[in-house]
Amino acid sequence: MTTKENAGLDHDAIIVGAGFGGMGAGIELKKLGIDDLAILEREDDLGGTWHVNHYPGLAVDIASVTYSYSFEPNPYWSRLYAPGAELKKYAEHVADEYDLRRHMVFGVPVDRAEWDDDGQFWTVHTTDGASRTARYLLTATGFLSQPYTPDFEGIDTFEGKIIHTTAWEDGYDFTGKRAAVIGTGATAVQLVPEIAKQAGELTVFQRTPIWVVPKIDFAIPQPVQELFAKVPLTQKAARLVNTSILEAIMVAGVLHYKQAKIGNKGAALLAKAHLRRQVRDKKTRKALTPAYDFGCKRPTFSNSYFTVFNKPNVNLETSSIVRFTPDGIVTADGRTTPIDTLVLATGFNLWDVNFPAFQIIGRDGRDLGRWWREGRFQAYEGITVPKFPNFLTLNSPYSYSGLSYFTTIEGQMRHIGRLFGEMALEDKGTFEVTEEANQRFLDRATDNLQSSVFYAGDCSGSRSYYFNQHGEATLLRPNATLPTLHEMGTFPLSDYEFRKTPAVEPVNAP
Ligand code: NAP
């Protein structure tokens, strides 16, 4: 049932996305007594990226003690870096534990939402032609959720098998196949060693090399898991140590590159030494060495990626792809690589189609996607936008904080808690961030970024998705995590304008 203030609407709140971000928001809203939620999900199950991605080799790249909700630790992670399937199970556990499943509706892609300023509510349209109303709209549609397939000439004439890493066919057998992988991002780094174990021949098409550092990973012994379960403080301590190391890497190596290049340069040296130890051929090593600074692009961790290129059945192709034929790929040097299976590890489109993931129309007809693209990408504290009342955009410019996505989620939960707590106290139902507060946040973020590796380092040629189409690095929030978390729970309430909401006539009123 909707709260009495929202009688006449379908729901108190609609959350779009049933991944960890959407579930975190759901947990927070329920804690605040906002219990009529609809969590609309495009996929057929919960878990977001951990439901969609299930390619071989998938695992987290932030240690699991940190890559989880701090308030819902899982003592039973099997490894320091848990495999993807455990994350999916963990998401299911959280949904049950916090009674979120009954709010979830699957297989309903949202294609549009618009704000009604008279009634002060959102109408959310789904691709099946239906619509729902709610006082609040929260989008938790992920950063990396719109798969990208380059428009290669002739790809439609290719007669072999094509698999995008986000639509993996479990059990697909590469034995004896002439396989190609296009892309050398974090996904390929995990997947390529697995394909190389099976394929007759494997060609990896690399456009831009990636920094790869060693991965210190091991199975967590059962006695340690039991200790974590019996004495949760021990797991908290492990989390604190790991999170602090990550934070130091991010603050020194990425955000304060200008002042402390040494950490960043040290990481690059470590990656180069790793490559030297693992790859025998000098020419291959050179081809695998990035020409941009460490941190311009998300670096990866692997002990098995580089060694693949020593195998006789694996070839690294650096000549650019010109076109496809029915049975191969033609490169700029005029050669054709014959293949029967093509794996697209080509990543995601963020800035053209994912910010936001569907059309959102706010007050005075402001179209969020158009406004961001034609102006600058921006969101106050990475969560609210002027002229979009009662709207929280959880995957937005400057929202990604710290190296673990759970830091971002928990910071946003704090923000939601403070905002809705204030509205309850003041008996208000509508909030909107002021233009002045938004501008102040944007100016500060822009200013802080000047010291980061993105602007003070050399990122030219990195082709990093941290940069948008205007050349601005607007994904990461350029602040240390602790001040960010503090700010998310203490931001000035005067940064918002609050209104009392009018009663909405129930749709079925006589
Ligand atoms: P990505 O980092 O965007 O990499 C896409 C790759 O495809 C790049 O190497 C790119 O080359 C290549 N590519 C795209 N278009 C191409 C074209 N037309 N011709 C040739 N090559 C092309 O995507 P991703 O590897 O899926 O990783 C995305 C992010 O997902 C990661 O950064 C990470 O944050 C996350 N991720 C996390 C995990 C984990 O936690 N375990 C695992 C996988 C992914 P260019 O670099 O030249 O553009």
State whether 20 and 41 are in the same domain.
yes
Residues 71 and 186 in one domain: no
Statement to judge: residues 194 and 325 lie in one domain:
yes
Q: Please name the residue whose Cα sits nearest to atom 35 of ligand 1.
A: 186
**Residue 80 vs residues 63, 110, 219: alpha-carbon distances, Å:** 5, 36, 6
Residue 230 domain-assigned (yes or no): no
> What is the domain count for the chain?
2
**pLDDT confidence of residue 506:** 52
Supply the residue whose CA is at minimum distance from atom 27 of ligand 1.
Answer: 186
63-85 pLDDT tens trace? 999 999 999 999 999 999 999 99
Ligand 1 centroid–CA 148 distance in Å is: 9
Summarised one tens digit per residue, pLDDT across range 417-453 is 999 999 999 999 999 999 999 999 999 999 999 999 9
Q: Are 194 and 305 in contact (CB under 8 A)?
A: no
- Tell me how far the alpha carbon of residue 463 lies from the centroid of ligand 1, in angstroms: 10
305 Rama class: left (phi>0) / alpha (psi -120 to 50) / beta: alpha
Q: Which atom of ligand 1 is nearest to the CA of 144?
A: 30
Same domain, 377 and 474: yes
Q: What residue spans of 321-375 are helical by DSSP H? A: 368-374
Q: Is residue 222 part of a domain?
A: no
Cis peptide before 356 (omega within 30 of 0): yes
Please name every residue paired with 59 in a beta bridge, in sequence order, or none if there are none.
83
Question: Has residue 505 been placed in a domain?
Answer: no
Instruction: From 309, 344, 379, give the residue that closes a domain.
Output: 344
Same-domain pairing of 30 and 111: yes
Query: For residues 169 and 154, is the Cβ–Cβ distance under 8 A?
Result: no
Ligand 1 atom nearest to 346, measured from its CA:
7
> Are 361 and 310 within one domain?
no
Question: Do 60 and 82 form a contact (C-beta atoms < 8 A)?
Answer: yes
Q: Are residues 402 and 254 in the same domain?
A: no
Assigned domain for 442 exists: yes
pLDDT of residue 1: 52
Q: Which domain holds residue 186?
A: 155-216+240-344
Per-residue buried b or exposed e for 105-137, using 16+ beta carbons within 10 Å of the residue's own CB? eeebebeebbbeeebbbbbbbbeeeeebbbbbb
Q: Which residues line ligand 1 (CB under 6 A)?
A: 59-61, 144, 150, 182-188, 190, 205, 207-208, 298, 321, 345-347, 463, 465
Query: For the chain, how many residues are written?
Result: 510
Distance from Cα 350 to the centre of ligand 1, integer Å: 12
Residue finishing a domain among 344, 361, 386: 344
Both 63 and 165 in a single domain?
A: no
Helix (H), strand (E) at residue 134: strand 131-139
186 CA → ligand 1 middle, Å: 6
Nearest by Cα to 22 from 441, 413, 368: 413
Q: Is residue 247 part of a domain?
A: yes
Query: Looking at residue 192, which CATH number applies to its domain?
Result: 3.50.50.60
Examine the domain organization and report whether 329 and 358 are in the same domain.
Answer: no
Q: Does residue 232 fall inside a structural domain?
A: no
Q: Is residue 1 part of a domain?
A: no
Distance CA(152)–CA(155), nearest Å, equals: 6
Assess whether 336 and 405 both reside in one domain.
no
Whether residue 254 sits in one domain with residue 136:
no
Give pLDDT tens digits along the chain (510 positions). Answer: 566 678 789 999 999 999 999 999 999 999 999 999 999 999 999 999 999 999 999 999 999 999 999 999 999 999 999 999 999 999 999 999 999 999 999 999 999 999 999 999 999 999 999 999 999 999 999 999 999 999 999 999 999 999 999 999 999 999 999 999 999 999 999 999 999 999 999 999 999 999 999 999 999 999 999 999 999 999 999 999 999 998 988 888 899 999 988 889 999 999 999 999 999 899 999 999 999 999 999 989 999 999 999 999 999 999 999 999 999 999 999 999 999 999 999 999 999 999 999 999 999 999 999 999 999 999 999 999 999 999 999 999 999 998 899 999 999 999 999 999 999 999 999 999 999 999 999 999 999 999 999 999 999 999 999 999 999 999 999 999 999 999 999 999 999 999 998 876 655 443
Among residues 344, 370, 389, which one ends one of the domains? 344
Do residues 338 and 404 share a domain? no
H-only helix segments in 204-260: 222-230, 232-248
Residue 223 in any domain: the answer is no
Q: Residues 415-440, buried b or exposed e (16+ Cβ, 10 A)?
A: bbbbbbeebeeeebbbbbbeeebbee
